Amino acid sequence: MTTETTNLTSGGLPPRLRAALATAGLSLGPMIGAFVLSGLVLLLMKVNPFDYYGYVFQRGLLSPSGVQATLTRMGPLLLLAASLIVAFRAGLWNLGGDAQFLMGAVFVAAWAPLMVQHLPVWLVLVLSMLVSVVIGAIWGLLPAILRAYQGINEIITTLMMNFLGISLSSALVKLVFADPDTTVPQTRTLPVGDRLPVLFGSNVSSGLVIGLVVILAVHWMMTRTAFGLKLRVVGANPEAATHAGLSVPKLTLAVFAISAGLGGLAGAVAILGQYGNVRADWNPAYAFTIVPLVFLARFNGYAAIGYVFLFSALGIGSESAARRLDVPNYFTLVTVALLLVLLAVTERWAALRRARKGV
């Protein structure tokens, strides 16, 4: 395509909309590619790919209950994406999001069902979210200190705190916070009526709104405020930031507090809005799959919302399709992997094309 045709086709559109359309176009190709390739895998398994993806679309995007499940799942995922955007933009690779999520979830699940008997529900919900932010931030404190004052690589420490937190949360559920009224190892359950309110009479949890507000706020903070600029300078070049008079250690601590705190909040929203309790050994590993999506969104909040919606719909749709067609749920992993690789290839190709145009 030559430059003229590009200008002709997108002539009247405002630049921001044009960019959004280009991004959407760049995601559509990889999606189709991933569906075709994983469709071939389905053929090998003697399953009709059209049946399978028919169910995926029907459940994930078309049926009212499926859409509501998709939107509800987006709440915690958006918070995790916001958590990673803050850290990644500041050049800090927080790979411990799953433990931050679980620690927030476990403490809220232990605390909220007890408190709800003594305090008004709205107060319990607000306090629970504050608790989860504090717990998440505490869990991120050690890697933050080690990074800020000892210069120890945060990939190692957050990965280790991740293993530690996954084991600790399941130990807490089994040994400390176990519901005495049941033999199943799980925490007490928050009654459905005392959870986060649903939106407009649907089954969509208002966790979605919390997620959207937070990720937009984070995007605004990182791109439009002085504090965000400072963090981006630290991320781009810590030495230059020191020379510019910024206190890199303090900013590092702040980044970890926000990022890990939001990770904890994601756990709280999952419990307060959807699950109501934590079972032993529960680990949805959301953060692990959100990491590549945030990279592909190039740390942009709007793009991250799009990818999170896509991922959420695919997850909800595939779970249903797998159940109906007796395909093991592992198959979703193959689709997600193909999608990630193809998205990365397309992203790279688009970047090369932009670079070539620029020269």
Binding region for another protein (CB under 8 A):
41, 45, 93, 142, 145-146, 150-153, 155-157, 159-161, 163-164, 167-168, 170-171, 174-175, 288-289, 291-292, 295-296, 328, 330-338, 340-341, 343-345, 347-348
For another protein, the closer of residues 31 and 156 by Cβ is: 156
Please, what is the minimum distance in Å from the beta carbon of residue 328 to another protein? 5
Q: Which residues fall within 8 angstroms of residue 19, CB to CB, at 6 or more apart?
A: none
Give the whole-angstrom CA distance, residue 313 versus residue 70: 5
Give the whole-angstrom CA distance, residue 81 versus residue 308: 8
For another protein, the closer of residues 78 and 291 by Cβ is: 291
Give the whole-angstrom CA distance, residue 125 versus residue 295: 32
Name residue 186's beta-bridge partners.
Answer: 279
- φ/ψ of 116, rounded to 5, equals -65, -15
For another protein, the closer of residues 105 and 208 by Cβ is: 105
Please, what is the minimum distance in Å from the beta carbon of residue 334 to another protein? 4
Terminal-residue alpha carbon distance, the chain: 16
For another protein, the closer of residues 227 and 349 by Cβ is: 349
Give the whole-angstrom CA distance, residue 248 versus residue 148: 7
Residue 227 tokens read as 């504090």
- Asked if 277 and 188 touch (Cβ cutoff 8 Å), the reply is yes
Please, what is the minimum distance in Å from the beta carbon of residue 196 to another protein? 29
The letter for the amino acid at 254 is A
User: How many other CB atoms are found less than 10 A from the CB of residue 16?
Assistant: 9
For another protein, the closer of residues 181 and 326 by Cβ is: 326
For another protein, the closer of residues 67 and 166 by Cβ is: 166
Please, what is the minimum distance in Å from the beta carbon of residue 165 to another protein? 9
Please, what is the minimum distance in Å from the beta carbon of residue 191 to another protein? 28
Please, what is the minimum distance in Å from the beta carbon of residue 95 to another protein? 8
